[in-house]
Chains A and B, each alone.
Chain A
């Protein structure tokens, strides 16, 4: 499940990380800013996903992302924070390989360089 109780169907050509990035941008933009985890967390998640998507990520960051999701979920004032966590958490859970691929490119780049 990605998003607020909605089901989004995407075909296999979609880059899951990019989709997660788009959605986390949406949530960052929608956050009202009242409670701390949501205000700060959505932005941080977006920043990290942005790094990963642009090939600057590391596997450590994916783990960090998972932990941020954990720190945010069910700790925000309203459900927007929880909803913001969902796409990121589920994309990592189900499509970890996509993340790894983006990161591997980078890590192998580093090796070859």
Chain B
């Protein structure tokens, strides 16, 4: 860049862009300037005075962390004056520090220790007793603060202020008595609170789970990924003697920006849960018999084959999971499509297709865009680290935020424009936006009435404002959650993307932000009834044969997950393999799902936790799952990264079990040596993944190539089910929900909410319900108890129910993936 500035540090020249801080410039040429309060993500603050350096022509020493470079600056970091100052500052810092490093949890990875070792005075001249403060004090159930060790660098409070923007953690009091705390001593329990443990430069903020359990140097650290949501944040899993110890961040600016959420840090208890499936079992005469995993895998494959031979390939199906790795899902695709010859593969209950008509944006684009358009997504509950990224973009990078959603979210606070459409009217709302853009562009519009307020709850004028906002932005990043859209709305959304892209000089990209670990990977790996891997439509037999060899394309149309349940119910589907999915809880209408699954002659459940589905299975196969497994996952930004194994297990890895199934049925068995052998194969066969290899994804992952979506036809608005009794049901995702991953014993259990339903004031009035009342949601002959919250979280005519636990059984109330109606009633008085 022409804006580069040349400076000299310790006689070494360096040129850096304008505005760079001296510390960063020094870092660039390998000169270390000690810091405490400075953190690259938090920006300059200048309170610890550790980073004093001498700058020629400046009368006083200056702090390198607040000083930006200036032309021809000459900086000295090792002059006698600086050394004296460093020793002085460290003496002050240590003056009332307890110096119990052997006990302290930070010992061994402590910047204070390191800086003292390198730059500190040899001895202390403190002749008075060191000040005593509160030792172990819980800030929340998961964070404990040792106030004695705090050096008041304010990294944690600034984190709370700048990064998570909750200002939950603050500096209380003044002068020597200042201390880190919370307003009114409330617990500090935001969704991202754990990060302060990592950034605290001393052992003041500690992980309550990990406190005193092990010394840092004794840990075996494995560079792995979080497997909770679709962000795929990088993290380090520390273990000792194969026991899980702790999770730490592993900064990757392209993904997580250096943070992980609390679900990642404290939500890993399931690794050592008693509910894990650790053995392969077969149901023989009503009793589960344990046998060798690979042997059962072989038997399973043969049984499936037998059913195919007898009833045809349409009689079996596979319900996969957006939580599996690419390798596992790829192998399952091979098993079912090529070895068993069926297209009955799916992993979800909503409708989605691979590929985008615009660029596939990643996390970095959120910051570089001019406008982020959020559709149907609630990042705070679904993708917390994306939430932080959006907050950063809006508040610190000057990006605008427009929200189109059916419920209020936390981001509304900082949004430039936030419009709320009626629950279930997403298709029309999207069409309305597309049409008002298309009108100006003079391109084909969606037919039918879209602008009427009564259809969507959004006035035409407001929608025009939104269109204007989009039109005037130079670069738009659309973040949408396909799982929150009803019916076929996804096609309307893709149409909208296409329209935005046609605006002259517009750069447009999208992030399909489904809240599951690897839903993008699952689609890319062809776990869809109508698409082969890489977004190749199964009807495009020419292309299929070209990629997979002649005769690979199957004639039949596959069944979606919900259709498979239908066919199981009617008896046409004989066998089902469910991989890390729990249809009984997560599919609509539990009773019917259960009865359908019971009718199957073969139900194989391959999962890591015991679930309501696995108890119905005729065969159970163990899946290792996060922590024990390895493989690649594709995050919502299309970045393929490697999830490394953190703990060892005796169980066979999933890819081995699946390849055993394939091999026991095929004439030409392929033996994979490691999960990377599968990666290698899939990189050759899956379009878009050609550059994915062990080497290329090693450090920070690699973005897979964009997958084109077949586009062109302007979708029609589907028939809206406007009839129905009661209110429209919208199930909202909850980050900390009591499910198989976070159970009652989880350290995060304090976040669990009671079953709640959110009503609009008008409906509450009609139903004569007010805040805090007990109410009953009824549909399908099922009743779910909930506490009323009158919060106008949605437009009138609907009810928002957060999915707070598996036991709540919310999906029992719905019947399909489009609009569902529920009745909200007062409980009967006995």
B91 & A39 in contact (Cβ 8 Å cutoff): no
Number of interface residues of A (CB under 8 A): 29
Interface-centre pick from A33, A70, A74 (highest chain B CB count, 10 A): A33
Q: C-beta contact mask, A14-47 vs B, less than 8 Å → 1, else 0?
A: 0000000000000011111111110111111001
Q: In whole angstroms, what is the CA distance A103 to B49 when docked?
A: 33
Chain A contacts of B92 at CB under 8 A?
Answer: 36-37, 39-41, 44, 71
Measured in the bound complex, the distance between the Cα atoms of B95 and A72 in whole Å is: 14
- Is the beta-carbon distance between B88 and A37 smaller than 8 angstroms? yes
Which positions 169-198 of chain B face chain A at CB distance < 8 Å? 171, 173-178
The reply to whether the CB of B167 lies closer than 8 angstroms to some CB of chain A is: no
- B414 an interface residue at 8 Å Cβ cutoff? no
B89 touches A71 (CB 8 A): yes
Residues B210-252 near A (CB distance < 8 A): none
20 contacts between A and B (CB under 8 A): A28-B176, A31-B175, A32-B174, A33-B174, A33-B177, A33-B178, A34-B152, A35-B48, A36-B93, A39-B92, A39-B152, A43-B176, A70-B84, A71-B85, A71-B88, A71-B89, A75-B52, A75-B60, A75-B88, A77-B47
Among residues of B, the one whose C-beta sits closest to the C-beta of A34 is B47
Q: List, in ascending order, chain B residues with CB within 8 A of A42's CB.
A: 176
Closest 10 CB pairs of A and B: A71-B88, A33-B178, A40-B92, A74-B60, A33-B175, A31-B175, A40-B95, A34-B47, A35-B47, A36-B92
> With a CB–CB cut-off of 8 A, which chain B residues contact A76?
49
The listed residue (A29, A31, A36) touching B89 by CB distance below 8 A is A36
Query: Is B770 interfacial (CB 8 A cutoff)?
Result: no
User: Is B128 interfacial (CB 8 A cutoff)?
Assistant: yes
Q: Which residues of B contact A (CB under 8 A)?
A: 46-50, 52, 59-61, 84-85, 87-89, 91-93, 95-96, 125-128, 151-152, 154, 171, 173-178
Could you say which residues of chain A place their CB within 8 Å of the CB of B60?
74-75
List B contacts of A36 (CB < 8 A).
47-50, 89, 92-93, 151-152
The smallest beta-carbon distance between A65 and chain B, in angstroms, is 11
Give chain B nearest CB distance to A77 CB in angstroms: 6
Q: A residues near B, CB below 8 A?
A: 28-37, 39-44, 47-48, 61, 64, 67-68, 70-72, 74-77
Q: How distant is A74 from chain B, measured CB to nearest CB, in Å? A: 4
Minimum Cβ distance to chain A for residue B682 (Å):
54
Contacts beyond the supplied A40-B96, A70-B84: 16 A-B pairs with Cβ under 8 Å: A34-B152, A34-B154, A35-B46, A36-B50, A37-B89, A39-B178, A40-B92, A40-B93, A43-B176, A44-B128, A61-B127, A64-B125, A67-B88, A74-B61, A75-B49, A77-B49
- Contact B46–A39 (Cβ < 8 Å): no
Contacts of A31 in B (CB 8 A): 174-176
With the chains together, A67 CA to B85 CA distance in Å?
11
Q: How far is the CA of A43 from the CA of B240 in the complex (A)?
A: 43
**CB-based contact A28/B128 at 8 Å:** no
CA distance A19 to B298 in the complex (A): 91
**Bound Cα distance A33, B461 (Å):** 52
- Please tell me if the beta carbons of B49 and A28 are within 8 angstroms of each other in the complex: no
Closest chain-A Cβ to B263's Cβ sits at a distance in Å of 34
**Which residues of the other chain, A, contact B48 by a CB distance below 8 angstroms?**
35-36
Indicate if the CB atoms of B95 and A44 lie closer than 8 Å: yes
A64 to chain B, nearest CB (A): 6
| Contact status B91-A71, CB under 8 Å | yes
Q: List the B residue with the shortest CB-CB distance to A50.
A: B128
Q: In the complex the two chains form, what is the Cα distance from A74 to B48 in whole Å?
A: 14
* Chain B: CB-nearest residue to A39: B176
List chain A residues, Cβ under 8 A from B59. Answer: 74
Given known pairs A34-B47, A75-B49, the reply for A39 and B125 (CB within 8 Å) is: no
For B178, what are the chain A residues with a Cβ–Cβ distance below 8 Å?
33, 39
The residue of chain B having its C-beta at the shortest distance from the C-beta of A30 within the complex is: B175
What distance in Å separates the Cβ of B202 from its nearest Cβ neighbour in chain A? 12
Q: What is the CB-to-nearest-CB distance from B692 to chain A, in angstroms, rounded to a whole number?
A: 48
